[in-house]
Amino acid sequence: MAEIEILLSPNGFNVRSVSNFGGEVDVKIGNEIDREIPDYLNNTVHISIAVNKKRFRMWVNEEKMVDSPNLIQANIGNYFIIQAMDVLPEKGHFVGISNFKIAESTEDLRSLLLKNGKFSTTGIYFDTAASTVKKESYGILLDIANMLRANNDINLQIIGHTDNQGEENYNQTLSESRAAAVKQILIEEFEIDEARLQFMGKGETEAVDDNTTEKGRANNRRVEFIKIN
């Protein structure tokens, strides 16, 4: 198996070790990570994992914590297990997992932009009826920032879309505010040059799914990125 150990202690949140063992492992991995993050304890933390053949990457909120090119080998990787150990309810311990998603990887962002000139995501989340970007959005925002850093010739227009719940003018304003918030995070937190980013909102005018269902409305609440010259 391949194992990533996350330690929750009085000192905080710590990605403690990365290792693999057993099976038919050719390259033995056994790395220790000495990194305490006290402000992550007793808060919601977003963990993103990407597996590409032998390579395993993991982000905690917006920061990449693990990038191992040979962790997944041979017959390792057929199953995914989350195990919380040494949790003592009598001492007030609690570990909760929510919003668990498994998705097949798609084309990388650069390929999508070069082939289609745009891509759209429902993976950027906002507070209800507000433009505040939630922390669980930072995985996709980091991917966008890394793509922009690696491709100086690509500039983006950020377009906000909403469902049709609420008044039309309100949805238009909300979509603009959300697109502006995404732009500001890319500038202020990921250090992308402001000159490379534009934004606009289209409100509820370009639905891609049925607004009469919750799933359809969720698909319509999206952020679109269009390559501009």
Helices 138-150 and 168-188: angle between axes, nearest 10 degrees: 60
Assign 187 to helix, strand or coil: helix
Q: Residue 176 in contact with residue 159, Cβ under 8 Å?
A: no
The per-residue pLDDT for 210 is 95
Strands 197-201 and 155-160: parallel
Kindly give, in sequence order, each residue whose CB lies less than 8 Å from that of residue 55, ignoring residues fewer than 6 positions away. Answer: 67, 68, 69, 70, 71, 72
What is the CA 75 to chain-centroid distance, rounded?
Answer: 28
Q: What is the pLDDT of residues 120-149, one digit of tens each?
A: 999 899 998 999 999 888 888 988 998 898
- Contact present, 25 and 73 (Cβ < 8 Å): yes
Mean pLDDT of the region 63-81: 83
What are residue 157's phi and psi, to 5 degrees?
Answer: -105, 130
Contact 8, 95 (CB under 8 A): yes
Angle between helices 109-116 and 138-150 (to 10 degrees): 70
Q: Which of 200, 205, 132 is nearest to 168 (CA)?
A: 205
Residues 36 and 14: their CA atoms lie apart, in Å, by 5
CA–CA distance, 34 with 226 (Å, rounded to integer): 40
Residue that is written with structure tokens 């609690």 in the block? 94
Is beta strand 30-32 parallel, antiparallel or unpaired with respect to 12-20?
antiparallel
The pLDDT tens digits for 178-207 are 999 999 999 999 999 999 999 999 999 999
Choose between 23 and 132: higher pLDDT. 132
- Which of helix, strand or coil describes residue 218? helix
DSSP track, 137-149 = GHHHHHHHHHHHH
| pLDDT tens-place string over residues 154-166 | 999 999 999 999 9
Candidates 100, 82, 9; CA nearest to 46 is 100
